[in-house]
Structure 1
Amino acid sequence: MSEDDLPKIVELQKLAFPYMAAEGVYWKSEQLKAHLKVFPQGQFVAEYHGKIVGSCSSLIIKLKSDYEPHTWKDACGDSFFKNHDPKGDSLYGADVSSHPDYRRLGIATKLYDARKTLAMNLNLRRIIAGARLFNYCEHAKEFTPLEYVAKVKKHEIKEPVLSFQIRNGFKFIKILPNYMKDPRSLNNATFIEWKNPNFVEKS
């Protein structure tokens, strides 16, 4: 990601997250600029024939305990990544976006792979994130978020986000309630984790 990309990423965000954009929840140029300043190597874009069709933003943090309940704001500090800690042990996935007209091309997988490579290069212990339950709003009257996840893991309910993350080697840990304002997930998220197989404990 470079500063020249930022206006295009803002427009991508609005297309990728229309429900959240309607609530005003998407990256602004000044926030993306701050991400580049605090942790440039953690910000990626995906291009297809010269067009930006995906992006992801990340920071390094250290939770007080491995699976501490938290909100998006708790993890990121705020939209300017004030919680970035170069001495932390976890790469935190703040967001991944892909253009709706270019899905099923493996864009998100390549962005996830870029994060994994970064985590290994920096010898970080893991990648963690709070991930959306995109279709939960359609099943909330029938199931609690945890029951919904159990159905998704059994392939009884289609859930594009969590299913994709599980296919990419992430493990579901628990539900994070009141994670962020999200009408699709009813503000719930899944705590997901990928452990770096090459991690070397620092002496």
Structure 2
Amino acid sequence: MDKWTYGYDRKNDLFNYLHIRNYEEKDFERLIEIQKKAFPPPFPSELWWTKEQLENHIRTFPEGCLCIEVDGVVAGSMTTMMTSFDEKNLSHTWEEKTADGTMKTHDPNGNIMYVIDLCVDPDYRSIGLGRQLTQAMYETVVQLGLKKLIGGARMPRYHKYVQELTPEEYVNLVINSEIHDPVISFLLKSGRSPIEPIKNYIEDEESCNYGLLTEWRNPFIE
């Protein structure tokens, strides 16, 4: 993947040149720095990327390892792998599906792209980098002839409503724009469709350990 585009920073009234490419070893320190900024406590620090994990990513499935530069500075990344699913039983944890983020469960014969991670440096969130990365990954799904993209989304504002709403009720209110959730609302605007909330998906206090499974279907495959 090597794609040039542009983004408009409304905050500073500037146009920025964006470059989407596969990340490499030279980017590891910056990618780890972005993780720490994008997922501060109470998000568990042990879930931040390590150099060992990133090395395994680019060795196992480089096509699923994208980063985005803003005027030459790496400002975000998205990592995926290939897998298969039992459509009748989608329940799983992020840990077991991704082998603790190492991608050792990558299946080169799988027909589904699974999102391991998407993160953007908070200093660059006004430019729409997450949507650019997501769109680029949709293009990769099409190029590889995969059936769909699936990912589990954090629900970071659910902890404010857990005493009064079930996860399903919370998601429905977000879908109807009665509640804004920074992750789910973003994914819906980026073309993802909700499937179901999964209990104990990931250790995440803000999401009450839930993750919303979402999908994007390849329009060129029935």
Q: Same fold (TM over 0.5)?
A: yes
- Which residue, out of 188, 192, 207, partners 1:170? 192
- Check conservation: 1:93, 1:128, Cα contact below 8 A: yes
TM-score (norm 2): 0.86
CA contact (8 A) 1:175 1:190 kept: yes
For 1:56, give the aligned amino acid. Answer: M
Offset of 1:52 from its aligned partner? 1.0
Query: In the TM superposition, what whole-angstrom CA distance separates every residue of 1:22-49 from its partner, at most 9, and x where no partner exists?
Result: 5422111110110000001110111112
Amino acid of the residue matched to residue 55 of structure 2? Answer: K
Do the aligned residues in 1 keep the contact of 2:44 with 2:204 (CA within 8 Å)? no
Q: Report how many residues are paired.
A: 200
Structure 1 segments unaligned to the other structure (5+ residues): none
1:145 paired to 2:167:
yes
Deviates further, 68-77 or 87-96: 68-77
- Partners of 1:20 and 1:113 lie apart in 2 by 29
- Matches of 2:35 and 2:43 in 1, distance apart? 8
Output the CA distance in 2 between the equivalents of 1:52 and 1:67: 37
CA contact (8 A) 1:44 1:55 kept: yes
Q: What pairs with 1:64-75 in structure 2 (closer than 5 Å)?
A: 64-65=86-87, 68-75=90-97
Residue 37 of structure 1 aligns with which residue? 59
Structure richer in strand, relative to its length:
2
Match of 1:10 in 2: 32
Does structure 1 conserve the Cα–Cα contact (< 8 Å) formed by 2:101 and 2:116?
no
In structure 2, the partner of 1:129 is: 151
Instruction: Give a deviation string over 1:124-169, Cα, whole Å, max 9, x none.
Output: 0000011100111111122111111111111111111111111111
Compare 11-20 and 117-126 and name the one that shifted more: 11-20
Alignment map for 1:47-62 (pairs within 5 Å): 47-62=69-84
Superposition deviation, residue 19 in structure 1 = 2.5
**Structure ranking higher in helix proportion:** 1
1:97: Cα distance to partner?
0.3
* Match in the other structure for 2:4: none
User: Could you tell me which of 155, 159, 162 is aligned with 2:181?
Assistant: 159
Is residue 2:140 matched to residue 1:118?
Answer: yes
**Gaps spanning 5+ residues in structure 2: where?**
1-22
Letter matched to residue 66 of structure 2: F
TM-score by length of 1: 0.94
1:85 pairs with 2:107? yes
Inter-partner Cα distance in structure 1 for 2:98 and 2:181: 25
Change (3 A) 1:98 1:33: same
Q: Do the aligned partners of residues 21 and 161 (structure 1) sit closer, same or farther apart at CA in structure 2, a change above 3 Å counting?
A: closer
Structure 2 Cα separation of the partners of residues 84 and 59 of structure 1: 6
Aligned-residue offset at 1:80? 1.1
Hey, what does 1:97 align to over in structure 2? 119
Cα separation, 2, equivalents of 1:48 and 1:38: 26
Change (3 A) 1:20 1:44: farther
Please give the root-mean-square deviation of Cα atoms over the aligned residues, in Å: 1.3
Q: Distance in 1 between matches of 2:33 and 2:182?
A: 22
Deviation at 1:65, TM superposition (A): 2.8
- Mean Cα displacement is larger for which, 17-26 or 56-65? 17-26
